[in-house]
Amino acid sequence: MTGSGNKSAAASSPPPKAVVGRLSLYLRELQHLLRDGHETTSSTQLGRRLGVTDAQVRKDLAYFGQFGYPGIGYRCEELVTQIKAILGTNQEWPVAIVGVGNLGQALLGYHGFRRQGFRVEAAFDISPDRIGKTFEGIVVQHLEEIPITLAEKKIRIGIIAVPGHAAQKVANQLVSSGIAAILNFSPVTLSLPETVPVVGVDLAIELEQLSFAVVNQAPNT
């Protein structure tokens, strides 16, 4: 749209969160297309399975630059590389999990993180029963060690998996230790400095997709 090369649109207006969310979906779709042997694609094809119009696809991508080729469309492999660079997942991210209860232990073993470039490198808890124990190769440390471990391992993303009543305190500790971003599995809304982005996980959205499908008897598409 802007016709003025990469990054110019990004610089002038930051994309809404949902646009970035759709980038992840475009990335998964492109990876699918690549596995199916497609070398190129179009905004129509890219949007179709996601139920997004071709105009919306083009508008979303235009936030980050210009990617298509006239008469060709998008080159899948190139666009995968470009979207990963935009999302920052062209590098590996060491992450820390705080709270090694059931959820924390489950997240420590979650393969989907590593597949997309996120490597759990530290885990913290406050319970003497858990501190010093090893889960998925990670030795659980006391919360007190958050500052030094985050610095040592250059960890910038923290995952909060503690009960609601402890979440804000843990978030404060992470922030004062220089964490750059937080994924929040606790059921409370965190109060954080504006400079520290936070994403709260809402698993009920996935269930709503299913109740819709059952009510409307929609088969897999």
- Residues between 116 and 135 that touch its own copies (CB under 8 A): 116-118
- CB-based contacts of 139-145 (< 8 A; 24+ apart in sequence): 140/100, 143/98, 143/170, 143/173
60-89: contacts with its own copies (CB under 8 A)? 60, 86-89
Q: Which is nearer to its own copies, 105 or 149 (CB)?
A: 105
Q: Is 105 in the site for its own copies (CB under 8 A)?
A: yes
Nearest-angstrom CA–CA distance, 162 and 170 = 8
Question: How far is it, in rounded angstroms, from Cα 91 to Cα 156?
Answer: 13
Least distance to its own copies, CB of residue 72, Å: 25
Site for its own copies in 12-51 (CB under 8 A): 14-25, 27-28, 48-51
Q: Of 1, 72, 106, 139, which one interacts with its own copies (CB under 8 A)?
A: 106
- Taken as a whole, the chain contains a residue count of 221
d(CA 63, CA 217) in angstroms, rounded, equals: 37
User: Of 178-207, which residues contact its own copies (CB under 8 A)?
Assistant: 180-183, 187, 192, 194-199, 201-207
Number of residues that bind its own copies (CB under 8 A): 81
Integer-rounded Cα radius of gyration of the chain: 20
User: Which is closer to its own copies, CB of 72 or CB of 218?
Assistant: 218
Instruction: List the interface residues with its own copies, window 131-170 (CB under 8 A).
Output: 156-157
Binds its own copies by CB under 8 A, chosen from 4, 6, 53, 81:
53
Indicate which single residue of 103, 140, 162, 174 sits in contact with its own copies (rule: CB under 8 A).
103
Whole-angstrom Cα distance, residue 136 to residue 24?
27
3-state secondary structure of 131: coil
Q: What SS3 state is found at 201? A: coil
